[in-house]
Structures are given as C-alpha cells and as structure tokens.
Homo-oligomer: A and B are copies of this chain.
Amino acid sequence: MKHAATSEAFPDAAHDHAECISTALAAAEDTCRREGLRLTPIRRRVLELVWQNHRPVGAYDLLDQLSRDGKRAMPPTVYRALEFLQGAGLVHRIATLNAFVGCSHPDHAHQCQFLICSDCRTVVELESENIGRSLKREAAALGFQVREQSVELTGLCPECHPAH
C-alpha cells in the first residue's frame, strides 16, 4: 500500500493522517476476521496508538498513553498486545530502536526493510522483492538458509537532508 495521502513513500507533514489511522484499523479488522483472530479493545487501542504517527513508539510510551485512558495498565498488557499484533502482521518491531511501528502492508505476508530518518525519526517500510532476493541469494551462496530478515537503514529522509 502506498501512503494514503500522496504518491510519495515518505509522508509529509500535511498529509491526512487520520486517514492513515482509519485505514490501518479497518485493515486490521479485515485481517482478524479473515484469520479468525480477535481484535479486542486493548489490542485495537494499542494498534491505534502505534499509528498515532509514522514514528516508532516504545512499549512504555504506549503504556503511559494507555494509562492516560483511565485504566492503569501494566507492562505485560502492552507487551501482550504488541505480541499479538506482531503475530497478526499488523505491527513491526524496529530492533535498532526497541520500538514499534504499524505495518504498511498488513494485507499480505511479507518480509520488509525499514528506512529510519535519524533526524525526524519517520520510518518508512519498504517491501522490496529485489532486496529480499539478493539477500537470500548471497546467503544461499554460503549455504545459509534465511528465515527472517531484519533490515534497518538509518539516514536522512527527503525532508531532512540538505539536498532538499
């Protein structure tokens, strides 16, 4: 899925982010219905919070925000929700940041790559078959069978680098 508001990969400040959120939630409902999974209120709320913007969010930030909802939530609550959402392919964990982002391609299984702006912290999820193939090929040449890839590229997004 391209970004909802523009044809650019990187969301600009002016984009209609409410639409990003509602699209993501609707896709989550679909996925869960299709797979027989239960998008309970907590899980739905955590997903909504993860999608509050295009930046990765830490588990304890989510926890604070959940607590502000009135219920005083404990760590296992948010980690369980995140675990479920990851399992359902609705959320990804960014290993280099110990943080989480909403999945931009929740409608199908995929291996993806992340572009992480070190300035504005925006994250974009790439889904390049090309990269995936090339990684698998190089690994296979050494007899290694890839099961999971974690590809996280840190740098400057178009908005944040000087050439702009």
Contacts and interface: CB of A to CB of B under 8 A. Distances in A.
Interface string A148-159: 111111111110
Contacts of A143: 9-10, 157-158, 161, 164
Contacts of A134: 130-131, 134
A124 interface: yes
A137 to B, nearest CB: 9
Given A95-B95, A115-B139, A155 B146 contact: yes
Given A96-B95, A113-B135, A157 B144 contact: yes
Of A153, A154, A163, which is in contact with the most chain B CB atoms at under 10 Å from its CB? A153
A147 interface: yes
Secondary structure at the A interface, as helix, strand, loop or mixed, is: mixed
Contacts of A154: 146-150
B147 A118 contact: yes
Interface in A61-116: 95-96, 113, 115
A158 B142 CA distance: 8
Contact of A149 (B126, B153, B163): B153
A23 interface: no
Contacts of A149: 151-154
A6 interface: no
